[in-house]
Amino acid sequence: MEDIVKCVLDPSVQLPEFHAKNLARLPPVDVSHCDVSAILLELRALRAEGRSMGQIAATVETIDLSAGETLVRIVAGIHPWLVCRIIGTIV
Protein backbone atom coordinates (compact mmCIF):
# COMPACT_ATOMS: atom_id res chain seq x y z
CA MET A 1 0.00 0.00 0.00
CA GLU A 2 2.82 2.44 0.83
CA ASP A 3 4.39 1.83 -2.58
CA ILE A 4 1.15 2.84 -4.28
CA VAL A 5 0.90 6.04 -2.22
CA LYS A 6 4.53 6.93 -2.94
CA CYS A 7 3.96 6.31 -6.64
CA VAL A 8 0.82 8.46 -6.76
CA LEU A 9 2.38 11.33 -4.79
CA ASP A 10 5.62 11.37 -6.79
CA PRO A 11 5.28 14.14 -9.43
CA SER A 12 7.96 12.60 -11.65
CA VAL A 13 5.94 9.41 -12.20
CA GLN A 14 3.68 9.47 -15.25
CA LEU A 15 0.55 7.49 -14.44
CA PRO A 16 -1.74 6.30 -17.25
CA GLU A 17 -4.98 8.15 -17.86
CA PHE A 18 -8.22 6.49 -18.86
CA HIS A 19 -11.09 8.25 -20.61
CA ALA A 20 -14.56 7.11 -21.61
CA LYS A 21 -15.38 7.46 -25.30
CA ASN A 22 -19.09 6.92 -24.78
CA LEU A 23 -20.44 8.39 -21.53
CA ALA A 24 -23.74 6.55 -22.03
CA ARG A 25 -21.97 3.25 -21.38
CA LEU A 26 -20.79 4.33 -17.93
CA PRO A 27 -22.87 3.16 -14.99
CA PRO A 28 -24.84 5.86 -13.15
CA VAL A 29 -23.14 7.45 -10.16
CA ASP A 30 -25.11 7.23 -6.95
CA VAL A 31 -24.72 9.36 -3.82
CA SER A 32 -23.11 6.39 -2.12
CA HIS A 33 -20.26 6.57 -4.67
CA CYS A 34 -19.42 10.22 -3.99
CA ASP A 35 -16.57 11.38 -1.77
CA VAL A 36 -18.54 13.65 0.56
CA SER A 37 -15.42 14.97 2.28
CA ALA A 38 -14.02 16.17 -1.06
CA ILE A 39 -17.35 17.85 -1.86
CA LEU A 40 -17.33 19.58 1.53
CA LEU A 41 -13.74 20.78 1.01
CA GLU A 42 -14.70 22.20 -2.38
CA LEU A 43 -17.78 23.86 -0.89
CA ARG A 44 -15.67 25.48 1.84
CA ALA A 45 -13.20 26.74 -0.76
CA LEU A 46 -16.02 28.20 -2.85
CA ARG A 47 -17.55 29.90 0.19
CA ALA A 48 -14.18 31.40 1.14
CA GLU A 49 -13.73 32.62 -2.42
CA GLY A 50 -17.19 34.17 -2.36
CA ARG A 51 -16.43 35.94 0.91
CA SER A 52 -13.14 37.28 -0.44
CA MET A 53 -14.92 38.54 -3.57
CA GLY A 54 -17.43 40.33 -1.32
CA GLN A 55 -14.57 41.93 0.61
CA ILE A 56 -12.92 42.99 -2.65
CA ALA A 57 -16.19 44.51 -3.87
CA ALA A 58 -16.56 46.42 -0.58
CA THR A 59 -12.98 47.68 -0.88
CA VAL A 60 -13.56 48.83 -4.46
CA GLU A 61 -16.75 50.61 -3.39
CA THR A 62 -14.86 52.33 -0.54
CA ILE A 63 -12.13 53.43 -2.92
CA ASP A 64 -14.76 54.65 -5.38
CA LEU A 65 -16.52 56.68 -2.66
CA SER A 66 -13.28 58.13 -1.41
CA ALA A 67 -12.31 59.10 -4.97
CA GLY A 68 -15.70 60.82 -5.33
CA GLU A 69 -15.21 62.70 -2.07
CA THR A 70 -11.75 63.78 -3.20
CA LEU A 71 -13.21 65.03 -6.47
CA VAL A 72 -15.85 67.01 -4.56
CA ARG A 73 -13.12 68.60 -2.40
CA ILE A 74 -11.10 69.51 -5.47
CA VAL A 75 -14.12 70.88 -7.28
CA ALA A 76 -15.17 72.91 -4.22
CA GLY A 77 -12.07 75.07 -4.65
CA ILE A 78 -12.66 75.72 -8.38
CA HIS A 79 -14.70 78.53 -9.91
CA PRO A 80 -18.41 77.55 -10.35
CA TRP A 81 -18.30 78.10 -14.11
CA LEU A 82 -15.39 75.67 -14.42
CA VAL A 83 -17.21 73.17 -12.18
CA CYS A 84 -20.17 73.16 -14.59
CA ARG A 85 -17.79 72.55 -17.50
CA ILE A 86 -16.07 69.64 -15.68
CA ILE A 87 -19.33 68.01 -14.61
CA GLY A 88 -20.72 68.44 -18.11
CA THR A 89 -17.77 66.51 -19.55
CA ILE A 90 -17.96 63.76 -16.90
CA VAL A 91 -21.70 63.18 -17.26
Angle at 39 between CA 26 and CA 41, to 5 degrees: 150
Cβ-contact 49, 55 below 8 angstroms: no
Q: DSSP readout, 10-55?
A: -TT--------S-GGGSPPPPGGGS-HHHHHHHHHHHHHHHHHHHH
Q: What is the pLDDT of residue 9?
A: 83
* pLDDT computed for residue 91 by the predictor: 47
Interval 24-72: pLDDT, tens:
888 887 777 778 888 889 999 999 998 888 888 888 888 877 777 776 6
The CA angle 39-40-41, to the nearest 5 degrees, is 90
CA–CA distance, 89 with 71 (Å, rounded to integer): 14
Highest mean pLDDT among 18-22, 23-27, 41-45, 83-87: 41-45
Count of other CB atoms within 10 angstroms of residue 83: 14
* pTM (2 d.p.): 0.38
Task: Give domain limits for the chain.
Answer: 2-90
